[in-house]
Amino acid sequence: MAGGVPKLKDRSVDIQNIIKRIVKSKSFPYSNAVKKIKKDRKGYYQQKDIKNKQKTLSSDRFQQYLKEIQDNDNSS
């Protein structure tokens, strides 16, 4: 029989994907990040990069990095 009812196994994969998508979209950290990205994409990723650099760079290199960012923002 061609084009019949899909097998239960195939359907369970679809259901799992739907549940994952719902859980992901209702997750507070995820939805909060999406809102921030939609509001200010450049600022969100710049802030994320700053947090990462703060952890990896020494304090004097980090201050130099912040000064470079500030100089680039002022020149734009």
Residues 34 and 63 in one domain: no
Tokens of 23: 């859980």
Question: What's the first-to-final CA gap in the chain, in angstroms?
Answer: 65
Examine the domain organization and report whether 45 and 72 are in the same domain. Answer: yes
- Same domain as 15, residue 45: no
Half-sphere exposure of 52 (CA within 13 A, CB side): 6
Where in the sequence is the domain holding 68, given as residue range(s)? 40-76
Q: Assess if residue 21 is contained within a domain.
A: yes
pLDDT value, residue 2: 52
Report mean pLDDT in 10-residue bins for the chain, 76 residues: 59 88 86 90 92 93 92 75
Task: Please tell me the pTM assigned to this model.
Answer: 0.55
